């Protein structure tokens, strides 16, 4: 049994180096393998993400703007 994901038969991550830092792993149904992709590829950007987009997302997910009045974490 493999103890690392990259050792599995259905995984094609290529060379894991700094260029793949913060990449995602997704399943490619065409090849039948898991592969490493950049967030830009996932979102369909061919260039860097525009600063204006980053600013809007940063503002939207600012925890100071989130009201958590009735959060139920369930039971464990």
Nearest to 25 by CA among 51, 16, 68: 16
Q: Is the pLDDT of residue 9 over 70?
A: yes
For 1-76, where are the E strands, in sequence order? 11-12, 24-28, 33-37
> In Å, how far from its chain's centre is CA 53?
17
Angle, CA 67 vertex, CA 64 and CA 72 arms, to 5°? 125
Q: What are 26-71's pLDDT values in tens digits? A: 888 998 988 888 887 787 766 667 788 888 888 888 777 777 777 7
Which of residues 31 and 72 earns the better pLDDT score?
31
Give the residue carrying structure tokens 């592969």: 35
Which of residues 35 and 6 earns the better pLDDT score?
35
């Amino acid at each position: 049994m493999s103890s690392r994901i990259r050792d599995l038969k259905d995984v094609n991550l290529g060379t894991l180096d700094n260029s793949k830092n913060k990449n995602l792993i997704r399943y490619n149904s065409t090849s039948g393998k898991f592969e490493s992709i950049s967030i830009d590829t996932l979102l369909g950007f061919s260039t860097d993400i525009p600063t204006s987009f980053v600013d809007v997302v940063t503002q939207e997910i600012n925890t100071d703007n989130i009201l958590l009045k009735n959060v139920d974490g369930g039971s464990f």
